[in-house]
A and B are shown apart, each in its own frame.
Chain A
Amino acid sequence: MKNVVFAGVGGQGVILASKVLMEVAKEAGYDVKESEIHGMAQRGGSVDCHVRYGKKVYSPLIEKRGADYIVSFEQLEAMRKLDLLAPEGTMIINLEKVDPAPVMTGEKKYPDDIEQWVSTNIPSYQLVDTAAVLKEVGTKKALNIVMLGVLSKYLEFTTEQWEKAIKSLVKEKFLEMNIDAFNRGRAL
């Protein structure tokens, strides 16, 4: 059984990333389930998806301290999910910061010690600087596929399996760009 949490904010493509992972897992013969909360996502709220695959999956939700991987598209959302990380779990964090409303209004401060705290305390982690990669890909919209590329290094599936899944879920005209984004993420 593998448990993967995707976390981010509305508009970052969290749900599509989870769909690609589910497709890969399904095609590899696994049972797969996912749960997502997106009611308020379009209004600037947090978005998360739990993806679980294995021989037989019951719960669509990952238990506390049960996530093998937390893939966060943004720093703050990663910290919000800490409780889900398994003791041997891996944290993958995009270093981008997206200010929530209380930070924008100056009421609260965006923590500046996340990078340091993660690198000091979490046994297995990867901090990803996607800014340069996204510039090369040509669109910030590919962030989700870049992050999947990073995650893919840790999972058992082949590049061909991933590409096939991406192909089945993205529009033809964006396919080449997304495959490029995936491969650049995988190289990070």
Chain B
Amino acid sequence: MEKKVLLGNEAIARGAYEAGCHVAAAYPGTPSTEILETLARDYREIKSQWSPNEKVALEVAAGASVGGARALAAMKHVGLNVAADPLFTFSYTGVNGGFVIINADDPGAWSSQNEQDNRHLARAAKVPMIEPSDPAEAKEFTKLAFEISEAYDRPVIVRITTRIAHSQGIVELGERKNVPLRDVPRNPQKYVMIPAHARPRHRFIEEQHIKLKEYSNTSGLNRIEWGKRKRGIITDGVAYQYVKETCPEDSVLKIGMVWPMPDDIIREFAAGVEEVYVVEEIDPFIEDYVKSLGIKATGKEIIPLCGELTPEIVDSALNGKAFPSVLPDYTTEIPGRPPGLCKGCPHGFVFTVLKKLDLIVNGDIGCYTLAVLPPYSAMHTQGCMGASIGMHLGLEKAHGEEMARKSVAVIGDSTFVHSGITPLIDLVYNRGTGTVIILDNRSTAMTGHQDHPATGVTLMGEPTHELDLEMLARAVGVKRVVKVDPKDIDEFERVVREETAAREPSVIISLRKCILKK
């Protein structure tokens, strides 16, 4: 079989292809974006799509699964928060065709607003989670996830992190399995979660949990690599690689299925070594579990809780290795290279005006969040997709209408479609009078220029209806909607002054194509 160097995300796409996946949906988000881009580029047999947000993506995949297809949804860690609602209940309904969710965590918050550890979500949603530790495993585990999903009637999460998603390695390619669509079932007891159906389904998934625990013990996903018996290290994901690199002589328990955990193997391993260590990124998820079995273990006392791990962090924590420099210090200051808005970026004009008018700016998720940094320094709040508009309204509710005269919400076109529409409805419904600026650069720019419902093109490259943001704003009840090119900076300033002064809701569509977009 052919061997290729693939990015972790490309390997996952390949795994979905080989598994005979039929439908895939996602919303772009670093470090997960390339999964769907690869599917749409290389594996046209799979119906792949950008959804407006992760919740819809997960629901589309759930629908495809109930319809008997093998289906995949992919998202970054915070995307799974958005999709948590369907996740927790499709955990109850289970699947028809294999249903796989790729979840990309971002320890180190390289391109995210937090470092949350989504292993907790697998446990909370009672969904099995498997965790590859390099691109080759990423492909194999993705294929396996479809099998587990169908065998145990559960959605399955494949958890990756930035160092798996954006790491390349040699992957052996296989053939695509031809998986026929299953029949569409008529089984409301399973697929319609009224309370009377949900209660027995809850019992069912607890039974499945016990069977999956057995699988976790016997499948080989969790394996002991015996070395010297003095020290045994339990580890998962990319941390496994750092452990193998820096502690080649120690015994290792590699956790490839992180939920449910393999109690028998953990006990066997702990009994076989003198001291147990746990090396994992972010939270003490495995460590707490191991300790809950009554096993003494060392983990977060020596392994950092915050930030991603590196080989040297593991090496110094476990082996006491120091890394003294043999070079004299270079004492000249090395100026940082912070990311910033590009030269000529349309957002730049907007923030120049907002700064000049000294407005309180409720920001959102996208390139434009970089306006918080110099030279603009023009953003006061930002938290998650769509938060700008609700926070803008909250500020007005707290301080009264005058606050809306001196504040705005700014939100990108893709982010607006993702999560900005419902808060705009709220602003109108609850008698807010604020101004929302939609930074419409015709693209999901931050993640690499993906299309979205307002660009008129699908992920597969087909032309489609182009969502009209102006009509949408009018439809939810905003009477003042102005479209303006921010490059005409005087006119833009005039519009912002006029709209923030108006004592009723207004939307300014700041329309100019991203400077990097062809």
With A43-B370, A121-B328: A58-B244 Cβ-Cβ less than 8 Å: yes
B348 CB to closest chain A CB (Å) equals 12
Q: In the complex, what distance in Å separates the CA atom of A101 from the CA atom of B339?
A: 8
Report whether A76 and B337 are in contact in the complex, using a CB–CB cutoff of 8 Å. yes
| A43 in complex: contacting residue of B3, B166, B339, B375, CB < 8 Å | B339
Report whether B327 and A122 are in contact in the complex, using a CB–CB cutoff of 8 Å. yes
Which of A19, A59, A85 has the most chain B CB atoms closer than 10 A to its own CB? Answer: A59
Supply 7 further A-B pairs (C-beta < 8 A) apart from A62-B311, A105-B375.
A57-B169, A58-B242, A61-B242, A82-B327, A87-B326, A101-B338, A117-B332
Interface flag for B402 (CB, 8 Å): no
Interface flag for B333 (CB, 8 Å): yes
A26 to chain B: which residues have CB within 8 Å? 3, 5, 170
Report whether A39 and B337 are in contact in the complex, using a CB–CB cutoff of 8 Å. no
| B323 in complex: contacting residue of A64, A100, A103, CB < 8 Å | A64
Interface flag for B330 (CB, 8 Å): yes
Contact with A along B384-399 (1 / 0, CB 8 A): 0000000000000000
Report whether A23 and B336 are in contact in the complex, using a CB–CB cutoff of 8 Å. no
What are 25 pairs between A and B in contact, CB < 8 Å?
A26-B5, A33-B134, A33-B168, A34-B169, A36-B168, A42-B448, A43-B367, A45-B338, A59-B245, A60-B134, A60-B168, A60-B241, A61-B242, A63-B310, A63-B323, A76-B335, A100-B335, A101-B338, A101-B340, A102-B335, A102-B338, A103-B335, A105-B374, A111-B334, A121-B330
Report whether A19 and B5 are in contact in the complex, using a CB–CB cutoff of 8 Å. yes
A32 to chain B: which residues have CB within 8 Å? 5, 168-170
| B166 in complex: contacting residue of A36, A101, A109, A117, CB < 8 Å | A36
Interface flag for B341 (CB, 8 Å): yes
Interface flag for A126 (CB, 8 Å): no
Report whether A19 and B328 are in contact in the complex, using a CB–CB cutoff of 8 Å. no
Interface flag for A79 (CB, 8 Å): yes
| B333 in complex: contacting residue of A46, A83, A108, CB < 8 Å | A108
Report whether B334 and A76 are in contact in the complex, using a CB–CB cutoff of 8 Å. yes
A114 to chain B: which residues have CB within 8 Å? 332
Q: Which of A89-127 contact B (CB under 8 A)?
A: 100-103, 105, 107-111, 113-114, 117, 121-122
B166 to chain A: which residues have CB within 8 Å? 35-38
Contact with A along B44-75 (1 / 0, CB 8 A): 00000000000000000000000000000000
Report whether A58 and B241 are in contact in the complex, using a CB–CB cutoff of 8 Å. yes
| A113 in complex: contacting residue of B323, B325, B332, B340, CB < 8 Å | B332
Report whether A37 and B168 are in contact in the complex, using a CB–CB cutoff of 8 Å. no
Least CB separation from B321: chain A residue? A63
Q: In the complex, what distance in Å separates the CA atom of A79 from the CA atom of B375?
A: 25
A19 to chain B: which residues have CB within 8 Å? 5, 168
Report whether A61 and B31 are in contact in the complex, using a CB–CB cutoff of 8 Å. no
Report whether A117 and B330 are in contact in the complex, using a CB–CB cutoff of 8 Å. yes
A111 to chain B: which residues have CB within 8 Å? 332-335
With A19-B5, A87-B326, A105-B375: A40-B339 Cβ-Cβ less than 8 Å: yes
Least CB separation from A38: chain B residue? B166
B364 CB to closest chain A CB (Å) equals 16
Tally chain A residues at the interface, Cβ within 8 Å: 54
Contact with A along B352-372 (1 / 0, CB 8 A): 000000000000000100100
Report whether A34 and B30 are in contact in the complex, using a CB–CB cutoff of 8 Å. no
B370 to chain A: which residues have CB within 8 Å? 43
Contact with A along B448-467 (1 / 0, CB 8 A): 10000000000000000000
Interface flag for A31 (CB, 8 Å): yes
Report whether A44 and B342 are in contact in the complex, using a CB–CB cutoff of 8 Å. yes
Q: In the complex, what distance in Å separates the CA atom of A16 from the CA atom of B312?
A: 27
Q: How many A-B residue pairs have CB under 8 A?
A: 142
Q: In the complex, what distance in Å separates the CA atom of A58 from the CA atom of B5?
A: 15
Q: In the complex, what distance in Å separates the CA atom of A60 from the CA atom of B168?
A: 8
A82 CB to closest chain B CB (Å) equals 6
Contact with A along B294-317 (1 / 0, CB 8 A): 000000000000000011100100
B169 to chain A: which residues have CB within 8 Å? 32-34, 57, 60
Q: In the complex, what distance in Å separates the CA atom of A22 from the CA atom of B3?
A: 12
B5 to chain A: which residues have CB within 8 Å? 19, 22-23, 26, 32, 34
Interface flag for B238 (CB, 8 Å): yes
Which of A107, A111, A114 has the most chain B CB atoms closer than 10 A to its own CB? Answer: A111
Which of A18, A60, A85, A103 has the most chain B CB atoms closer than 10 A to its own CB? Answer: A60
B216 CB to closest chain A CB (Å) equals 24
B335 to chain A: which residues have CB within 8 Å? 76, 100, 102-103, 108-111
Interface flag for A140 (CB, 8 Å): no
Q: In the complex, what distance in Å separates the CA atom of A34 from the CA atom of B341?
A: 28
A66 CB to closest chain B CB (Å) equals 8
| A100 in complex: contacting residue of B3, B241, B242, B338, CB < 8 Å | B338
A24 CB to closest chain B CB (Å) equals 10
B306 CB to closest chain A CB (Å) equals 18
Q: In the complex, what distance in Å separates the CA atom of A43 from the CA atom of B30?
A: 14
A-B pairs, 5 with minimum CB distance: A39-B111, A43-B339, A108-B335, A40-B339, A100-B337
Report whether B241 and A101 are in contact in the complex, using a CB–CB cutoff of 8 Å. no
Q: In the complex, what distance in Å separates the CA atom of A18 from the CA atom of B168?
A: 10
A39 CB to closest chain B CB (Å) equals 3
B246 to chain A: which residues have CB within 8 Å? 59, 63
Q: In the complex, what distance in Å separates the CA atom of A22 from the CA atom of B337?
A: 27
Contact with B along A164-182 (1 / 0, CB 8 A): 0000000000000000000
Least CB separation from B133: chain A residue? A58
A61 to chain B: which residues have CB within 8 Å? 163, 242, 310-311
Report whether B311 and A33 are in contact in the complex, using a CB–CB cutoff of 8 Å. no
A17 to chain B: which residues have CB within 8 Å? none
Report whether A83 and B325 are in contact in the complex, using a CB–CB cutoff of 8 Å. yes
